[in-house]
Amino acid sequence: MDVIELTRELGKAIQQDDRYIAYNLAKQVNDNDAELQKQIDRFSQLRGELGSAMSAEEPDKAKIGELDKEIKDLYQKIMKNQNMVVFQGAQQALESLISNVQQIISLCANGEDPDTCQPSTGGCSGSCSTCGGCS
């Protein structure tokens, strides 16, 4: 098998992982939660209105303040929705898995032993393209 074929096998293994399955189930539940979707749509609409209000020739500070407060309140409501809470946890677990896979691949590409290299738990993904800089 070549590297691309092995990568496809890895992709299949990821799709069979419990974290991937949990993420997809949580996403589906969110997508089917009519009230949550209504709130998300309203949130997007308010963000657009805020952007327009802020870029107006003469911004109305009172309107901007009202929109900002409404956006923050709605965001808190969305994030407290039980379906969203479950989704966020599932998303973080899947992202952690993918980060670990990417780190192992990067370590191996840099000459580390594939059997013993360990992904970092310090938050570095190993990819400088998405990094804000080392601290």
In a domain, 59, yes or no: yes
In a domain, 41, yes or no: yes
In a domain, 113, yes or no: yes
pLDDT band per the 50, 70, 90 thresholds, residue 122: low
User: pTM of the prediction?
Assistant: 0.79
How many distinct structural domains can be found in the chain? 1
| Three-state secondary structure string covering the chain | CCHHHHHHHHHHHHHHCHHHHHHHHHHHHHHHCHHHHHHHHHHHHHHHHHHHHHCCCCCCHHHHHHHHHHHHHHHHHHHHCHHHHHHHHHHHHHHHHHHHHHHHHHHHHCCCCCCCCCCCCCCCCCCHHHCCCCC
For residue range 44-83, what is the model confidence (pLDDT) as tens digits? 999 999 999 999 999 999 999 999 999 999 999 999 999 9
In a domain, 65, yes or no: yes
In a domain, 135, yes or no: no
Domain that holds residue 8: 3-130
For residue range 32-53, what is the model confidence (pLDDT) as tens digits? 999 999 999 999 999 999 999 9
In a domain, 61, yes or no: yes
CATH number of the domain that residue 117 is part of? 1.20.1500.10
